[in-house]
């Protein structure tokens, strides 16, 4: 398999986007490390797409990323979600700091992937020139999500537009969250797991059907609020580097939709893997209950995340968004 950055660079080249080259003194990116929030994710998935380059390599190639099948304005502002975000003269922490942005600041810019480091940086206008901020400190709301929230309060199921590049407000919380009966979860009684009402019905029906077939898996991660994702993400970036791909930025996690679950198996005590019979069962039957695996081996370039056999999103019977969007 080609390394991830090269694969995406090729995909973007196919889209007719040009790469630019900058120079900097780069160090070796930190290796991915495990931490408490992701202890159930199989080790072989962690850091799988971290791009390693030779120590002392000097050049940086940036490729603009602009993926939105719905055609939102690529200059839609990014919002700072960390207390202080450094503005740098180039797309790497080895460049000098030329200023800072504070929490809540909105800023427009071009989203670049740095091929050598596999980091994402946003090129912004700065003092009559340009400067760069790390994507790890900002999030961006898709205008369609905002319009739907304004009109309906809750995002219509199957029409939520959430991926690495587009998200929902960190404050968004569906108002129809309901408790998943504990026997369908990987938790002991007393710990409350929430999903949207319709999804609780769907996931319990799915697991009931699996049980009838003698297969057992449970809901291991349910709804997660924007602020809790913010805490998890900031810690994962700190521990595993700016190019980690297993943790979604706040506002960009499907778990915040209340429609998405991670499944684990009581048999193995960990998240589902491709080779597990429990995974094979969900892969065969999940879609007839409205669930699809979000991150597969086939859409790594489009989603920007690692393959996740345990992560399933409820789209309802008839997703109203385009097939193109389903890739994300």
Residues of this chain that bind Zn ion (CB under 5 A): 262, 311
Exposure b/e, 74-111, CB count within 10 A at least 16 = b? eebebbbbbeebbbbbbbbbebeeeeebeeebebebbb
Residue with CB nearest Zn ion? Answer: 311
- Nearest to Zn ion of 121, 172 (CB atom): 172
**Most distant CA atoms of the chain, gap in Å:** 66
Element (H, E) at 4: helix 4-14
CB of 8 to Zn ion, least distance (A): 22
Q: Among residues 197, 201, 292, 294, which one has the least CA distance to residue 254?
A: 294
Torsion of CA 18, 20, 246, 179, to 10 degrees: -60
- Nearest to Zn ion of 8, 224 (CB atom): 224
- Nearest to Zn ion of 131, 203 (CB atom): 203
CB of 143 to Zn ion, least distance (A): 25
Q: How far is residue 306's CA from residue 295's CA, in Å, rounded to a whole number?
A: 7
Q: How far is residue 291's CA from residue 286's CA, in Å, rounded to a whole number?
A: 5
CB of 83 to Zn ion, least distance (A): 26
CB of 113 to Zn ion, least distance (A): 23
Q: What is the 3-state secondary structure (H, E, C) of 212-258?
A: HCCCCCEEEECCCCHHHHHHHHHHHHHHHCCCCCCCCCCCCCHHHHC
Contact call for residues 273 and 281 (beta carbons, < 8 A): no
- Nearest to Zn ion of 245, 311 (CB atom): 311
């Amino acid at each position: 398999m080609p390394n991830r950055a090269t694969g995406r660079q090729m995909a973007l080249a196919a889209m007719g986007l040009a790469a630019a080259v900058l120079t900097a003194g780069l160090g070796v990116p930190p290796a991915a490390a495990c931490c408490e929030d992701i202890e159930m994710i199989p080790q072989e998935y962690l850091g799988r797409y971290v791009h390693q380059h030779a120590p002392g390599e000097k050049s940086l190639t940036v490729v603009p990323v602009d993926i939105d099948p719905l055609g939102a304005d690529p200059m839609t502002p990014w919002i700072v979600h960390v207390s202080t975000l450094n503005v740098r003269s180039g797309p790497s922490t080895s460049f000098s700091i030329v200023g800072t942005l504070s929490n809540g600041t909105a800023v427009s810019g071009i989203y670049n992937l740095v091929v050598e480091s596999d980091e994402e940086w946003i090129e912004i206008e700065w003092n009559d020139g340009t400067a760069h901020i790390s994507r790890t400190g900002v999030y961006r709301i898709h205008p369609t999500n905002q319009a739907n929230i304004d009109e309906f309060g809750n995002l219509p199921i199957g029409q939520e537009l959430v991926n690495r590049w587009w998200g929902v407000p960190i404050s968004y919380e569906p108002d129809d969250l309901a408790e998943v009966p504990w026997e369908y979860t990987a938790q002991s009684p007393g710990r409350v797991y929430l999903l949207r009402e319709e999804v609780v019905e769907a996931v319990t029906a799915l697991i009931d059907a699996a049980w009838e077939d003698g297969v057992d898996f449970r809901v291991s991660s349910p709804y997660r609020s924007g602020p809790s994702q913010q805490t998890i993400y900031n810690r994962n970036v700190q521990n595993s580097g700016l190019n980690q791909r297993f943790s979604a930025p706040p506002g960009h996690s499907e778990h915040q939709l209340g429609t998405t679950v991670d499944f684990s198996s009581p048999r193995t005590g960990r998240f589902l893997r491709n080779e597990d019979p429990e995974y094979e069962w969900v892969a065969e039957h999940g879609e007839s209950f409205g669930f699809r695996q979000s991150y597969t081996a086939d859409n790594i370039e489009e989603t920007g995340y690692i393959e996740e056999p345990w992560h399933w999103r409820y789209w309802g019977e008839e997703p109203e968004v385009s097939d193109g969007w389903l890739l994300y």
